[in-house]
Amino acid sequence: MKIKNYYVKDMYEAMIRIREELGNEAVIISKRQVTQKGIFGFLKPKMIEVTAAVEVKEVNEAEKMMSSKKTEQEALFRNEINEIKEVVKQLIETNHSSVNRIVEHNEDIYDIFRDMDLSKKIIEDFESYCKHNNIKKNDFNKIVLYEFLMNRFNNKLNIKMPDSKVLVLIGPTGVGKTTTIAKIASRESLVNHKNVGLITIDTYRIGAVEQLKIYANILDIPVEVVSSVDDLPIAINILRECDLILVDTSGSSYKNVNQLNELKYFLDQIKEKEVSLVISMTSKNTDFIQILKSYQHAEFDNIILTKFDETLSYGNVLNAFYLTDKPISYISMGQVVPDDLEYATRDVLFKYIWGEIKS
Ligand SMILES: Nc1nc2c(ncn2[C@@H]2O[C@H](COP(=O)(O)OP(=O)(O)OP(=O)(O)O)[C@@H](O)[C@H]2O)c(=O)[nH]1
Ligand SMILES: [Mg+2]
């Protein structure tokens, strides 16, 4: 058994350090506020002393080695280890009650859920997680929520970068499809030295074609404009030498069934492709759910989340991976091409979510 003390600013820092140093199996066995060291320590903000423990195999190895020698001193030592083990076991068993003791009960987890605009499904899952772990409603707190999120991020979150030659971006109007295409095109052509070609089938909106052509000119890459379904395979054939073909589409309202059918008809003309559904983080949870539902018809493969910079509520990250089994690929956090685009990673997404809950 390895036991270690940590001096930290908050429980978030403690969790991160404990996970890093002792691993996922570690448990918190105590926590108390302490004054910082030094003459003026009492003037500084208080720190938290957190004690964590984890069972390690080395103890068993040590036990084996020692038992072979069979000296009286060793037998005494083994007894001591067993006693320590027993104490720590009891502490682990009462882990939840010790967690409850250390956290103030004034935080209402349901207020956090409401502020994050989480779907009902997630709240129900949290409740069943707590029930399964024997945590009563009165004991819901941020540490329980942290453990729940860690668990779900580890087990449920699905992340995957698109890797097909043809990538089509679809989604509601104004979510950032064209801007994201420009960002991906810049990154792939300038950084990864790929031959990139662009196609737009957005001939509805005034200026849409020009918008894409401007990016194509800057990057010096070819762009094909497609105005009828039959032209789409032709455009793809023209760009066949490219390593990556990015297809921009016009925005469709999730409520407009005709537009969605037309989009599906266009998409069906491309045999081998990956389709990214672009959704803005600023969408309300109820709209977010409807967008995911309506666009299922278009058979998208992954999700790109945009406009992280325009919201302080990141619940849609959870909504995204709870309401569909499709992976998240990119996240966009601003208008700047190409800088404001990142590959989605577990750590970045978790940081957004936990940052919101913590504050
Ligand atoms: N703040 C912010 N703005 C963004 C982001 N991505 C795109 N935008 C802006 O959102 C606006 C619409 O972006 P577009 O790329 O034209 O969106 P679109 O989905 O192609 O729009 P339609 O083609 O009309 O459906 C532009 O002003 C972009 O600069 C982002 O991540 N954050
Ligand atoms: Mg567009």
Distance 182 CA to ligand 2 centre (A): 10
Query: What phi, psi does 317 have (nearest 5°)?
Result: -60, -45
| Binding site membership of 253 for ligand 1 (Cβ less than 6 Å) | no
Relative to the CA of 333, which ligand 1 atom is closest?
Answer: 31
Give the pLDDT of residue 58: 52
Query: What are 181-194's pLDDT values in tens digits?
Result: 999 999 999 999 99
Cβ neighbors of 32 (< 8 A, separation 6 or more) are 48, 49, 102
| Binding site membership of 205 for ligand 1 (Cβ less than 6 Å) | yes
Mind listing the domains of the chain with CATH numbers?
Answer: 1-102 (no CATH), 106-156 (no CATH), 166-358 (3.40.50.300)
Q: Cβ of 132: how many Cβ atoms within 10 Å?
A: 8
Q: CB of 18 within 8 A of CB of 51?
A: no
CA distance 334 to 310: 8
Q: Cβ of 56: how many Cβ atoms within 10 Å?
A: 14
Neighbours of ion ligand 2 (CB under 5 A): 177-178
Average pLDDT over residues 170-185: 96
Distance 315 CA to ligand 2 centre (A): 25
Relative to the CA of 248, which ligand 1 atom is closest?
Answer: 20
Distance 317 CA to ligand 1 centre (A): 19
| Binding site membership of 309 for ligand 1 (Cβ less than 6 Å) | yes
| Binding site membership of 334 for ligand 1 (Cβ less than 6 Å) | yes
| Burial class of residue 9 (count of CB atoms within 10 Å of its CB; 0-12, 13-18, 19+) | exposed
Q: First CA to last CA across the chain, in angstroms?
A: 34
Query: What are 196-241's pLDDT values in tens digits?
Result: 999 999 777 778 888 899 999 999 999 999 988 889 999 999 999 9
DSSP for 37-57?
SSTTGGGSPPEEEEEEEE--H
Distances (CA, A) of 337 to 59, 185, 195, 296: 54, 10, 18, 29
pLDDT above 70: residue 85: no
| Binding site membership of 202 for ligand 1 (Cβ less than 6 Å) | yes
Give the residue, by CA position, lying nearest to ligand 1 atom 26.
Answer: 176
Residue, of 69 and 208, whose pLDDT is higher: 208
pLDDT band at 283 (very low <50, low <70, confident <90, very high): very high
Most confident segment among 99-103, 268-272, 328-332, 334-338: 328-332
| Binding site membership of 83 for ligand 1 (Cβ less than 6 Å) | no
Give the residue, by CA position, lying nearest to ligand 1 atom 2.
Answer: 334
Distance 311 CA to ligand 1 centre (A): 14
Distance 45 CA to ligand 1 centre (A): 43
Distance 127 CA to ligand 1 centre (A): 37
Distance 119 CA to ligand 2 centre (A): 28
| Binding site membership of 208 for ligand 1 (Cβ less than 6 Å) | yes
Angle between helices 109-116 and 346-358 (to 10 degrees): 120
Angle between helices 57-69 and 72-93 (to 10 degrees): 160
Record the tokens describing residue 121, joined without a space: 């499904």
Looking at residue 138, what DSSP letter applies? Answer: G
Query: What are 19-46's pLDDT values in tens digits?
Result: 888 887 777 777 788 887 766 666 677 7
CA distance 331 to 343: 6
CA distance 161 to 327: 8
Relative to the CA of 175, which ligand 1 atom is closest?
Answer: 19
